[in-house]
């Protein structure tokens, strides 16, 4: 049994890509996309027709609407290849606008439904800002499930649990990146690998907190830099993995054992935490890594959204 097969015994495997032609080989349950992944995909010749078709079919509509039609087209193609759900992201430029995020999420769902896709197969991705979490809470109350992305801190996870969102995506690799850069020459890769990886530790803390307190929100580790981060989180609810790292896992036959266990979390002594808006903003501010990576992530997604819009305009 290779490591990918072994991982599927403990964890729901999700493909993190806009390149849906790569998905079938790994038979994931779900898939995730984001503006950067879609941008990367549409620049490949085999996906150019999807972009051209979105523009031709919706010419004259507002650019943001054409963009959403393109995202939904990719989502529909992905859903034809997987049994589960696809995550489609709300424009990152709305990350601090609750009402606009809700409206955009509702529009994406309506577009999917117009293509015959049930809303249960869609997760609307929203940034884990305070405003994004409140938007997700409203969408969940309306029966639209959400995936809270760009999540780097415990306070973000707690607020998402309070909002009863369907799923969160803690970004393992970007947490690792920040601590490695911060440490500079003092960083010793071997000492900070596996269970000692700061991104892995963040996900474990969140997972144990949720399981201990009976929080139903699913935990999906994301943004991996190496296979060791993935194998160290075997047992997590879900892990969303790039095609390159899925291939790495499929090529390895090293033994793999679950390291996260819900029964073990129940036995832990973990105090409950609550955050109102002021408390959330202060806790996030106190976490330099999370503050910087959240802002950086939003900016990067916004840049790629603009690039994608330029491709639509040029088509």
Report pLDDT digits (tens) over 126-141: 999 999 999 999 999 9
Q: CA-to-CA distance for 24 and 35, rounded, in angstroms?
A: 21
Q: Return the axis-axis angle of helices 288-314 and 63-79, rounded to nearest 10°.
A: 100
Burial class of residue 40 (count of CB atoms within 10 Å of its CB; 0-12, 13-18, 19+): middle
Burial 207-242 (b: 16+ CB within 10 A, else e): bbbbbbeebebbbbbbbbbbbebbbbbbbbbbbbbb
Q: CA-to-CA distance for 49 and 80, rounded, in angstroms?
A: 18
Look at residue 315 in the predicted model and tell me its pLDDT.
Answer: 87
Q: Any idea what DSSP says for residue 30? A: E
Please give the CATH number for the structural domain made up of 3-314: 3.20.20.70
292, two tokens: 């910087």
Ordered by start, the domain boundaries in the chain are: 3-314
Close Cβ partners of 108 (under 8 Å, ≥ 6 residues apart)? 68, 71, 72, 88, 90, 122, 124
Q: DSSP 3-state assignment of 274?
A: coil
In this prediction, the residues of the chain whose per-residue pLDDT falls under 70 are none
How many beta carbons lie within 10 A of that of residue 157, not counting itself? 26
The mean predicted confidence, pLDDT, of the chain is: 97
Look at residue 60 in the predicted model and tell me its pLDDT.
Answer: 92
Q: CA-to-CA distance for 196 and 183, rounded, in angstroms?
A: 14
Please report, rounded to a whole number, the percentage of residues in the chain having pLDDT higher than 90: 97
Strands 86-89 and 122-127: what pairing? parallel
Look at residue 35 in the predicted model and tell me its pLDDT.
Answer: 85
248, two tokens: 């790495």
Task: Please give the positions annotated as active site.
Answer: 125
| pTM > 0.95: yes or no | yes
Look at residue 140 in the predicted model and tell me its pLDDT.
Answer: 98
Q: Are 170 and 201 contacting, i.e. CB atoms less than 8 angstroms apart?
A: no
Q: Give the HSE-up count for residue 62: Cα atoms under 13 Å, Cβ half-sphere.
A: 3
């Amino acid at each position: 049994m290779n490591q990918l097969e072994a991982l599927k015994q403990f964890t729901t495997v999700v493909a993190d890509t806009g390149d849906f032609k790569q998905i079938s080989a790994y038979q994931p349950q779900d898939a995730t996309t984001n503006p950067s992944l879609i941008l990367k995909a549409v620049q490949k010749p085999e996906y150019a027709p999807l972009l051209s078709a979105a523009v031709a079919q919706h010419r004259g509509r507002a650019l943001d609407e054409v963009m959403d039609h393109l995202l939904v087209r990719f989502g529909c193609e992905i859903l034809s290849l997987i049994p589960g759900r696809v995550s489609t992201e709300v424009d990152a430029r709305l990350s601090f606008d609750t009402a606009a995020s809700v409206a955009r999420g509702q529009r994406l769902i309506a577009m999917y439904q117009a293509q015959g896709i049930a809303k249960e197969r869609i997760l609307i991705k929203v940034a884990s800002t305070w405003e994004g979490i409140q938007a997700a809470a409203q969408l969940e109350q309306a029966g639209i499930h959400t995936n809270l992305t760009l999540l780097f801190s415990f306070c973000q996870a707690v607020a998402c649990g309070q909002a009863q969102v369907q799923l969160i995506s803690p970004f393992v690799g970007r947490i690792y990146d920040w601590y490695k850069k911060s440490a500079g020459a003092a960083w010793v890769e071997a000492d900070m690998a596996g269970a000692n990886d700061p991104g892995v530790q963040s996900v474990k803390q969140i997972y144990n907190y949720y399981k201990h307190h009976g929080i139903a929100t699913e935990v999906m580790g994301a943004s991996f830099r190496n296979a060791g981060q993935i194998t160290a989180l075997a047992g997590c609810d879900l892990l969303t993995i790039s095609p390159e790292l899925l291939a790495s896992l499929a090529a390895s036959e090293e033994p793999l054992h679950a390291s996260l266990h819900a029964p073990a979390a129940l036995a832990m002594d973990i105090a409950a935490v609550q955050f109102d808006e002021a408390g959330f903003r202060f806790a996030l501010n106190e976490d330099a890594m999370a503050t910087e990576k959240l802002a950086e992530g939003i900016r990067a997604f916004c840049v790629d959204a603009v690039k994608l819009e330029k491709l639509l305009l040029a088509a």
